[in-house]
Amino acid sequence: MEHLEMVNEVKHQRIKANGIWLHVAEKGTGPLVLLLHGFPELWYAWRHQINYLAQHGYHAVAPDLRGYGDSDSPIEPTSYTCHHLVGDLIALLDHFGEQQAFVVGSDWGSTIGWHLSLFRPDRVKGFVALGVPYHPRSPTSKTVETIRKLFGDQSHVCQFQEPGRAERAFARYDYLTVMKKFILMINTDFLASPEGMELIDFLPTPSVVPSWITEEELTVFADKFQESGFTGPLNYYRAMDLNWELLAPWQGSKITVPTKFIAGNKDMAFDLETFGTKAFVESGIFKSLVPNLEVVIIDGHHFIHQEKAQQISDEILSFIRKFPPNASI
């Protein structure tokens, strides 16, 4: 129950940022550490790290990203481009009066962190990416087309493209079941269902909740998604091809920000051979795109900041402690 008491000490506010209202949870004082969640999560995914970083002299700030939780959720997928999402973060840094912050991202939060580091390296002191490495933009194929070629129409990215489709499929289940299907997922296959089947129907519902999370914690996510729905989060996928167009000016760019990449060895996004992430990370190609990089592979799955909370907290702290206070890169 300790973490539930800790969550009560977290300060909440809504901030006008980049034309929308963003809800942030924060704790502690000191250098700013921005914690960016993934799909389908909320600020609450960082409950362990917020407390730990605050205890160690940092100002931990975890927003509900646009479209999630208590933040605004614009209707159109075109409001969820990499430029909008990075703009939200710049507005948060400005709100807190910080020229630079440490950034930690998981899943989509990692992707947004990579784009922030690409567009505005002057604002990022150091970046920790969980699960999703920096993938160079294909000069020839749009993102969804590339994924379709690799995994077919039944992949989650393809199924999520059509407005309303995934929302209708998810609605066949209660919100707690949807959370369990995603957050407790341990399959190492890429997220693709058999022909003619919706992904949410294909994902198993674990009968036992693992020791690293409680039913009560999962209910926090479920209750909030029941209020805010899934369209905002799904719009991130629906903007992927638009992102591909918008990223053309950065074709071939490198990420110069000091970065630590952490992946779980059983994370399907890392482990799956078809996707090639493991080979990409180990081959040296990744390092050539992100020259100031260290890589850590630990035992775990996709939502590793929740599953291996203490280990991830330690990894984040050991990285950000390398930077002297107030030193700009």
- Per residue in 108-167, pLDDT tens? 999 999 999 999 999 999 999 999 999 989 999 999 999 999 888 999 999 999 999 999
11 has pLDDT over 90: yes
Percentage of the chain beyond pLDDT 90 is 84
Residue 268: per-residue pLDDT: 81
187 has pLDDT over 80: no
- Per residue in 63-99, pLDDT tens? 999 999 999 999 999 999 999 999 999 999 999 999 9
Residue 4: per-residue pLDDT: 52
Active-site residues, by number, are: 107, 237, 302
- One-letter amino acid at 84 equals H
Q: 101-106 and 11-17: which strand pairing?
A: unpaired
Residue 190: per-residue pLDDT: 64
241 has pLDDT over 80: yes
Q: Can you spell out the DSSP letters for 185-253?
A: ----S-SB--TT--HHHHS---SS--TTS-HHHHHHHHHHHHHH-SHHHHHHHHTHHHHHHHTGGGTT-
pTM of the model: 0.95
Q: Does 38 or 195 have the greater pLDDT score?
A: 38
